[in-house]
Structure 1
Amino acid sequence: MLNSALRSRAEYAELGVDGLAARTSPERDADIVKAVEELLDGRESVLDLCCGYGRISLPLARAGKTVRGLDISPNLVEAGRIQANEEELAIDWAIGSMTDLPYAWDSFDAVICLWTAFHELFAEDEQISTICEISRVLKPGGIAIIEGPSWGPATAGEIALGMRQGPEHRIVTTEHADGLSSVHYIHDDISYGRLCAAAGIDNYKVYKREWGGRRRLILEIHA
């Protein structure tokens, strides 16, 4: 298992389902589900990559989508599985890393990777592997949606405090209201372009949009 995966698993084991859920709201989640459904444009089979406790998987399944959810964190996946069972929703859950997906070629009409999950990969080889894997499991005509924060120039203060590190100061530490911090690799059209070129993908677009009440960056890949 790669270092980024180990780090994420430890972080979410500490945070737990309740801690992670406290960082969103039912209203924000409903807005995001609506945006996802619009982008999927009728596509039926969906891989929710880094699905967490099922905040998007569960509503999509309720709406009649065929959903599979994969996450690195056993505690989050188990919470999603319990809720799905209670509602008798047929979601296929799995524990694993986004860099090495346990699915066959051309398995899904759509892949979604939301809530900054992709940005928890700090090494470029991990990022490229994940883009390749997402592309591999998409059916012809399929779509992938990756969502996260957008890169901006670091300030001198952020650098001095160690809040911005790594190449081009793209690794950002964020302090949360719960007293915990998270670390993410921040992308833009240039870094996403590098990854897609390395993965042999030319049918993609990068753009910003309102997403659950926040301005977010979207990488959209078309198979």
Structure 2
Amino acid sequence: MNTRGFYDELADRYDLMYADWDASTTRQGRALDALLTTSLGPGPHTVLDDACGIGTQAVGLARLGHRVTGTDLSPRAAARAAREAAARDLALPVAAADMRALPFADASFDAVVCADNALPHLLTAEDVRAALAETRRVLRPGGLLLLSTRPYTALRRIRPTSEAPHVHNGPDGRTITFQLWHWHPDGERYDVELFQLLPSGGTWTTHTSGATYWALPEEETARYLREAGFGEPVLHLPAATGFHQPVLGARRPVPHTRSTL
């Protein structure tokens, strides 16, 4: 399944991967807000979430007063993000868009958030460079990118073959989500089989979907950021931020102006 198809198919059930999705939006929003305000000063800030999914980070940031726009490769996921925001009386304009070709003018945003392991869906150096170039383009000078991925430096060493199950307790019973990972011979890319077991009249209904990732280590991702023209990236670890993944922060440099006498 391609990336868009993976998230289109998952959009209606994505929240079931969390024990409490709404609480997660609040927690993640606060963690990202702390990084935004530490770097950019007090908000609200104009923020693009360029892999917004169903709104996990975008809703949390909008709750805190930021002016958030969401885009996602999956039209169904982006539409759900808009519905989730509206249900909470939050403004969240959304669009279906590829992060390699963003439909915004230059220097439109104070910050761009690219979270939840979205960038590793891009499987070639050319695609990663294109996405980071577009991100830099839509950031104002001095603007901030917050990019989170899995901790691939460690994961590439051990190459796990599965992820522990996640359990969601809903009104109809428990939903169980787990993943199997199939590493490619190159040791860098892997296919995910995502299984969701939904309660159904005393038995289970199983949904299976799949996607491919490129497990870029943190320092390699930082190198691509430097090549794209960002300032020196800073790695923020979960123990310090409370966010569930490592976050690379990088600024679009402010051009130096030459004074004249």
TM-score range (shorter-chain normalised) is: 0.7 to 0.9
Instruction: Provide the rounded CA distance (Å) in 1 between the counterparts of 2:70 and 2:50.
Output: 6
- Could you say which residue in structure 1 is the equivalent of 2:182? 163
Instruction: Provide the rounded CA distance (Å) in 2 between the counterparts of 1:156 and 1:146.
Output: 22
Instruction: Provide the rounded CA distance (Å) in 1 between the counterparts of 2:149 and 2:70.
Output: 19
Q: Per-residue CA shift, 1:154-209, capped at 9, x if unaligned? A: 55896xx9822264x22123444514444321222331133123313333223432
Measure how far apart 1:124 and its partner are.
Answer: 1.0
Note if contact 1:173-1:183 (Cα within 8 Å) is conserved in structure 2.
yes
Note if contact 1:165-1:172 (Cα within 8 Å) is conserved in structure 2.
yes
Q: Structure 1 residues 142-151 or 22-31, which shifts more?
A: 22-31
Q: Per-residue CA shift, 1:68-112, capped at 9, x if unaligned? A: 110111111112223334444332211110011111111111110
- Could you say which residue in structure 2 is the equivalent of 1:23? 17
Q: What TM-score comes out, normalization by structure 1 length? A: 0.83
Instruction: Provide the rounded CA distance (Å) in 2 between the counterparts of 1:222 and 1:213.
Output: 19
- Could you say which residue in structure 2 is the equivalent of 1:89? 90
- Could you say which residue in structure 2 is the equivalent of 1:191? 220
Letter of the 1:58 counterpart = V
Letter of the 2:191 counterpart = T
Instruction: Provide the rounded CA distance (Å) in 1 between the counterparts of 2:108 and 2:5.
Output: 29
- Could you say which residue in structure 2 is the equivalent of 1:173? 191
- Could you say which residue in structure 1 is the equivalent of 2:172? none
**Matching of residues 1-223 of structure 1 within 5 Å:** 7-18=2-13, 20-24=14-18, 25-26=20-21, 27-41=23-37, 42-43=42-43, 44-151=45-152, 152-155=155-158, 163-165=182-184, 167=186, 169-178=187-196, 179-210=208-239, 214=244, 216-223=245-252
Note if contact 1:174-1:181 (Cα within 8 Å) is conserved in structure 2.
yes
Measure how far apart 1:31 and its partner are.
Answer: 2.0
Note if contact 1:188-1:217 (Cα within 8 Å) is conserved in structure 2.
no
Q: CA 1:173–1:66 in 2, change beyond 3 Å: closer, same or farther?
A: same
Instruction: Provide the rounded CA distance (Å) in 2 between the counterparts of 1:9 and 1:92.
Output: 20
Q: What TM-score comes out, normalization by structure 2 length? A: 0.72
Letter of the 2:80 counterpart = A
Instruction: Provide the rounded CA distance (Å) in 1 between the counterparts of 2:248 and 2:128.
Output: 13
Instruction: Provide the rounded CA distance (Å) in 2 between the counterparts of 1:154 and 1:118.
Output: 20
Measure how far apart 1:21 and its partner are.
Answer: 1.1
Q: Determine helix, strand or coil for the equivalent of 2:237.
A: strand
Note if contact 1:29-1:212 (Cα within 8 Å) is conserved in structure 2.
no
Q: CA 1:213–1:67 in 2, change beyond 3 Å: closer, same or farther?
A: closer
Measure how far apart 1:56 and its partner are.
Answer: 2.1
- Give the structure with the larger helix fraction: 1
Q: Determine helix, strand or coil for the equivalent of 1:68.
A: strand
Note if contact 1:122-1:185 (Cα within 8 Å) is conserved in structure 2.
yes
Measure how far apart 1:116 and its partner are.
Answer: 0.9
User: Percent of aligned positions with the same letter in both sequences?
Assistant: 24
Instruction: Provide the rounded CA distance (Å) in 2 between the counterparts of 1:157 and 1:143.
Output: 32
Measure how far apart 1:30 and its partner are.
Answer: 2.5
